């Protein structure tokens, strides 16, 4: 049985056209380069991912993974007798996805680098999961097609999110955004053109304080080809004076006075001849802020004295009086208890000392009676 790849090559060319095939896919599916097994998988991947115009094939890591799948995995895991059924299923999948069209809200044929990387990583992760499972035969075919079906939905979600949130996010001005065209995998800089005028901002600042004019918008960091921020003072006779120019998006002037009130203009330059954004500022200088002096804590103002005297004259509530009396009784009772315990300890020591002194005093009195010297006793006898 002949399992040539010519029918699939014709089918792919009828869907995309020879010149529309991505470079990576054209080389990957070349008849002279690969065998019939890999041609089937290449067509399956092209069909299942057609809603994104084969964007993931613009990632070289996906091309290398599919080459490794054909060379290292397919020979021992797919029987030749199942090729025909697989071809029929792939052909049907390609025809089904052929009817999908571009949509301004969900897909316009371009993605950014971050979206492409997320879709490629998700596909490679699931492809590795299948090869690590060592599945074979019909089960391998089912796993592969189911994985491609889920990956198609996942990538469509990524693309729709990019289309809604990251594709030309500027509301005004001109943003230069690097995009990848999925049809031919070319990476080019796209100009998201909106109105140059980003409106006027009213700024109020008290006299003798700092004036800060901020010209940065949230998409400036993501844009390419931007140069310098230029701030101009606009006068009433339609003339203007350059105040500052540089990479800083803010203009700061300290200790402003009435002469600083008026109109200002900020212009962000680009590599093109036209500016990226233009923002106007109308500055109003308010009277100097008056700070209230706080009195010293040791000085009593008349109001505070009146309040203090009124608080002193107010009668105490019964609850507070009862709490005060109970607290006083508790304090005095504690003092009396401490005094009594101290006195008892003192008296006990005195009584013990008295008893000891009495007992030892009697014993020492008997023992210490005076004795008459023998010489004196003899003399008394002779007399």
Task: Write the pLDDT tens digit of every residue in 192-238.
Answer: 999 989 999 999 999 999 999 999 999 999 999 999 999 999 998 88
Residues 342 and 22: their CA atoms lie apart, in Å, by 103
Contact predicate 203/283, CB 8 Å: yes
111: Cβ contacts below 8 Å, ≥ 6 apart: 52, 55, 119, 158, 159, 162, 179, 180, 182
The dihedral of CA 308, 314, 317, 323: what is its sign?
Answer: positive
**253 or 55, which is more confident:** 253
Closest by Cα among 29, 5, 197 to 86: 5
Q: Where are the beta strands (DSSP E) in the chain?
A: 110-111, 174-181, 186-193, 197-206, 211-214, 226-234, 240-246, 250-253, 262-270, 277-286
Asked if the model's pLDDT at residue 239 lies above 90, the reply is: yes
**Beta-ladder partners of 206:** 286
- Per residue, the 3-state secondary structure of 146-192, as one string, reads HHHHHHHHHHHHHHHHHHHHHCCCCCCCEEEEEEEECCCCEEEEEEE
Q: Higher confidence at residue 338 or residue 284?
A: 284
The proportion of the chain whose per-residue pLDDT surpasses 70, expressed as a percent, equals: 65
The domains of the chain are located at: 55-166, 195-286
Residue 299 has pLDDT above 80, yes or no: no
> What's residue 39's pLDDT?
52
The candidate with the shortest Cα–Cα distance to 277, out of 381, 363, 354, 195, is 195
Q: Judge whether residue 323 has pLDDT over 60.
A: yes
Who wins on pLDDT, 15 or 281? 281
Q: Is the pLDDT of residue 50 over 50?
A: no
Q: In sequence order, what are the beta bridge partners of 192? A: 175
Instruction: Assess contact for 252 and 210: CB atoms under 8 A.
Output: yes
Positive or negative torsion for Cα 162, 163, 166, 167:
positive
Instruction: Check residue 91 and give its pLDDT.
Output: 52
What average pLDDT does the segment 339-368 reach?
71
Among 105, 192, 190, 113, smallest CA distance to 156 is for: 105
Q: 47 falls in which pLDDT band (50, 70, 90)?
A: low
Mean pLDDT of 157-166: 91
On whether the 195-286 domain is CATH 2.60.40.10, my answer is yes
**CA distance linking residue 297 with residue 167, whole number of Å:** 61
Judge whether residue 37 has pLDDT over 60: no
What single-letter DSSP state applies at residue 107?
Answer: B
How confident is residue 356, by pLDDT bands cut at 50, 70 and 90?
confident
| Average pLDDT over the chain, rounded to an integer | 76
Q: Is the pLDDT of residue 181 over 70?
A: yes
Tokens of 109: 């044929």
Query: CA-CA distance, 214 to 281, in Å (whole number)?
Result: 9
Cβ(133)–Cβ(78) below 8 Å:
no
The alpha carbon dihedral of 338, 343, 346, 349 has a sign of negative
Which pLDDT score, from 0 to 100, does residue 178 have?
A: 95
- The residues near 65 (Cβ < 8 Å, ≥ 6 apart) are 124, 127, 128
pLDDT given for residue 296 in this prediction: 61
Residue 130 clears pLDDT 80, i.e. is over it: yes
The DSSP call for residue 294 is: P
Higher pLDDT: 313 or 257? It is 257
What residues have CB less than 8 Å from 125, skipping those under 6 apart? Answer: none
Taking Cα atoms as reference points, which of 83, 80, 60, 64 lies closest to residue 72?
64
**Mean pLDDT calculated for residue range 164-171:** 94
Burial label for 48, CB within 10 Å (0-12, 13-18, 19+), is buried
């Amino acid at each position: 049985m002949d399992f040539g790849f010519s029918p699939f090559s014709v089918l792919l060319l009828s869907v995309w056209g020879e010149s529309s095939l991505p470079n990576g896919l054209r080389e990957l599916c070349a008849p002279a380069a690969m065998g019939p097994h890999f041609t089937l998988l290449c067509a399956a991947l092209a069909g299942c991912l057609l809603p994104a115009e084969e964007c993931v094939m613009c990632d070289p890591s996906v091309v290398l993974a599919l080459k490794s799948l054909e060379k290292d995995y397919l020979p021992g895991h797919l029987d030749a007798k199942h090729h025909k059924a697989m071809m029929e299923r792939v052909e049907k999948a390609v025809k089904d996805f052929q009817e999908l069209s571009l949509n301004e809200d969900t897909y316009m044929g371009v993605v950014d680098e971050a979206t492409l990387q997320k879709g490629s990583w998700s596909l490679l992760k699931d492809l590795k999961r299948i090869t690590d499972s060592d599945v074979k035969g019909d089960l391998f075919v089912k796993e592969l097609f189911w994985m491609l079906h889920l990956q198609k939905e996942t990538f469509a979600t990524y693309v729709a999110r990019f289309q809604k949130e990251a594709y030309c996010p500027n509301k005004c001005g001109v943003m230069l955004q690097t995009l990848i065209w999925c049809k031919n995998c070319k990476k080019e800089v796209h100009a998201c053109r909106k109105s140059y005028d980003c409106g006027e901002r009213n700024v109020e600042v008290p006299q003798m304080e700092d004036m800060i004019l901020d010209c940065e918008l949230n998409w400036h960091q993501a844009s390419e080809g931007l140069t310098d921020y230029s701030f101009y003072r606009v006068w009433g006779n339609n003339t203007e004076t350059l105040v500052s120019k540089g990479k800083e998006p803010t203009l700061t002037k300290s200790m402003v006075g009435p002469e600083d009130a008026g109109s200002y203009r900020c212009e962000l330059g680009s590599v093109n001849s036209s500016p990226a954004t233009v923002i106007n500022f109308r500055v109003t200088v308010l009277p100097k802020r008056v700070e209230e002096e706080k009195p010293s804590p040791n000085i009593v103002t008349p109001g505070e004295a009146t309040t203090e005297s009124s608080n002193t004259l107010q009668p105490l509530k019964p609850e507070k009086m009862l709490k005060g009396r109970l607290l006083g009784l508790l304090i005095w009772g504690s003092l009396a208890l401490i005094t009594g315990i101290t006195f008892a300890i003192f008296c006990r020591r005195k009584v013990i000392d008295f008893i000891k002194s009495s007992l030892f005093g009697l014993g020492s009195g008997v023992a210490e009676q005076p004795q008459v010297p023998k010489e004196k006793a003899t003399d008394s006898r002779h007399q």
